[in-house]
Amino acid sequence: MADKDGILNPKDYGIDIPQANSTFHVKGNSHASWGMKSRLSKIFNPRSGNSLMLAFDHGYFLGPTSGLERLDLKIPPLAEYIDCFMGTRGGLTSCIDPSITGDKAIALRVSSGSSILNDDLSNEIISVDIEEAIRMNADLMATQVFIGAPHQKESIDNLSKVINTGNRYGIPTMGVVAVGKEMARTAEYFRLATRIIAEVGAQVVKCYYCDDFETVVAACPVPIVIAGGKKIPEYDAMDMCYKALQLGAAGVDMGRNIFQSDDPFAMVQAVRGIVHDKLTTKEAYELYETIKNR
Ligand code: 5RP
């Protein structure tokens, strides 16, 4: 029987103590297979240890979101500055010329099944199989996980199946923490969700930034990349990235705060500066302004 009272107040996170027995730059993946490490090294730059992933998979349940009305026009100009494209099968194959993917990683959204017309977004299926992921040269498969939602079990079943097939072929899985309309965005909730996803076996976790984020990172044995969330002012989005990186995030998987920016081309380069070149928020914002005003 779960002893809720005994587990709800963990506090000994060992903040700032690196994960033990690490021989690889991607946290928790020292014992992964050769092929998986090769793919993870495409996603997470071995020099900085971090990743700048550009998320443009929103259409899979939102339709043509603001800023993503035309994937073919919006995404290619940003490609040079990112480490990884994160999109759907249809978005990638119909709008992104494979010749521009070059040495960039591909994170393939493999879950779907809900839309903004549903109150409950948690009822998803796996819509892309492993053969297709291999054919698309995917380096990462991403599936949504809804902890505490009506279809939690099904979303963990989806996650498990993707991990099981991914492990067979050396393709890592990213579990994406979903926040439904009623779900809290607290460290307590994110610690629960990220840890469940990691213990099921995901090699990478995507989560939102929150207060006490360092406890979420410390308690999650694999790398966390943060989602950008709703569009906020450019400086604030950069500051969120900076703080998340300082507190242990291994990068960002950012969408709206890049492609809905006043200047996506400047924004992607500023975020890259934070992720890979240790720029502070102020330095990144100056870079943004310089590029924007050219
Ligand atoms: C949806 C996703 C999206 O790709 C991602 O969260 C969107 O990125 P952003 O919040 O930065 O627009 O995984 O769950």
pLDDT for the residue numbered 87: 98
Per-residue pLDDT of 253-278, as tens digits, reads 999 999 999 999 999 999 999 999 99
CA Rg, the chain, in Å? 18
- pLDDT of 28 over the 70 cut: yes
pLDDT tens sequence across 121-143? 999 999 999 999 999 999 999 99
- Residue to probe by mutation, ligand 1, list 68, 115, 238, 253, most atoms within 8 Å of CB: 253
Name the β-bridge partners of 252: 52, 226
- Across the chain, what does the average pLDDT equal? 95
Q: How do residues 167-183 score in pLDDT, each as one tens digit?
A: 999 999 999 999 876 67
Minimal-distance CA residue to ligand 1 atom 14:
178
Residue with CA closest to ligand 1 atom 13: 176
What number of other Cβ atoms are within 10 A of residue 183's Cβ? 16
Over 80: is that where the pLDDT of 9 sits?
A: no
Residue 114: CB atoms within 10 Å: 20
Task: Name the residue with the closest Cα to ligand 1, atom 7.
Answer: 255
The alpha carbon of 6 and the centre of ligand 1 are apart by a number of angstroms equal to: 34
Residue nearest to atom 1 of ligand 1 (CA): 58
Q: Which atom of ligand 1 is nearest to the CA of 61?
A: 1
CA distances from 286 to 14, 139, 241 (A): 35, 33, 15
Residue 229, both tokens: 């969330």
**Is the model's pLDDT at 1 over the cut of 80?**
no
256 in ligand 1 pocket by Cβ < 6 Å?
yes
Q: Which pLDDT score, from 0 to 100, does residue 2 have?
A: 54
The answer to whether the CB of 176 is under 6 A from ligand 1 is yes
With H, G, I as helix, E, B as strand and everything else as coil, classify residue 125: strand
User: In the structure encoding, which two tokens stand for residue 31, read together?
Assistant: 């014992």
Distance 229 CA to ligand 1 centre (A): 6
How many Å lie between the centroid of ligand 1 and the Cα of residue 59? 10
Ligand 1 binding pocket mutation candidate from 51, 52, 57, 241 (most atoms within 8 A of CB): 57
Residue written as token pair 């690889």: 24
**Is there a catalytic annotation at residue 42?**
no
- Average pLDDT value for residue range 222-230: 97
Alpha-carbon distances, residue 118 vs 58, 113, 122, 241 (angstroms): 15, 10, 9, 31
Q: What is the pLDDT of residue 163?
A: 98
Give the architecture (CATH level 2) of 34-292. Answer: Alpha-Beta Barrel (3.20)
Question: For residues 201-212, b (16+ Cβ closer than 10 Å) or e, as one string?
Answer: bbbbbbbbbbee
pLDDT digit string, tens, across residues 64-96? 999 999 999 999 999 999 999 999 999 999 999
Q: Does the CB atom of residue 229 touch ligand 1 within 6 A? A: yes
What residues contact 46, with CB distance under 8 A and at least 6 apart?
25
Does the Cβ of 180 fall within 6 Å of ligand 1? no
Q: Where are the domains of the chain?
A: 34-292
> If you measure from the C-alpha of residue 31 to the centroid of ligand 1, how many angstroms do you get, rounded to a whole number?
29
Whether 152 shows a pLDDT value over 50: the answer reads yes
Distance 138 CA to ligand 1 centre (A): 18
Q: Which of 206, 278, 282, 292 is catalytic?
A: 206
Residue 249 · residue 275 · CB < 8 Å: no
* pLDDT in the model for residue 3: 58
If we measure between CA atoms, which residue out of 175, 173, 246 comes closest to residue 209? 246
pTM, two decimals, is: 0.96
How remote is the CA of residue 241 from the centroid of ligand 1, in Å?
14
Which residue out of 115, 176, 205 has the highest number of ligand 1 atoms within 8 Å of its CB and is therefore the one to mutate?
A: 176
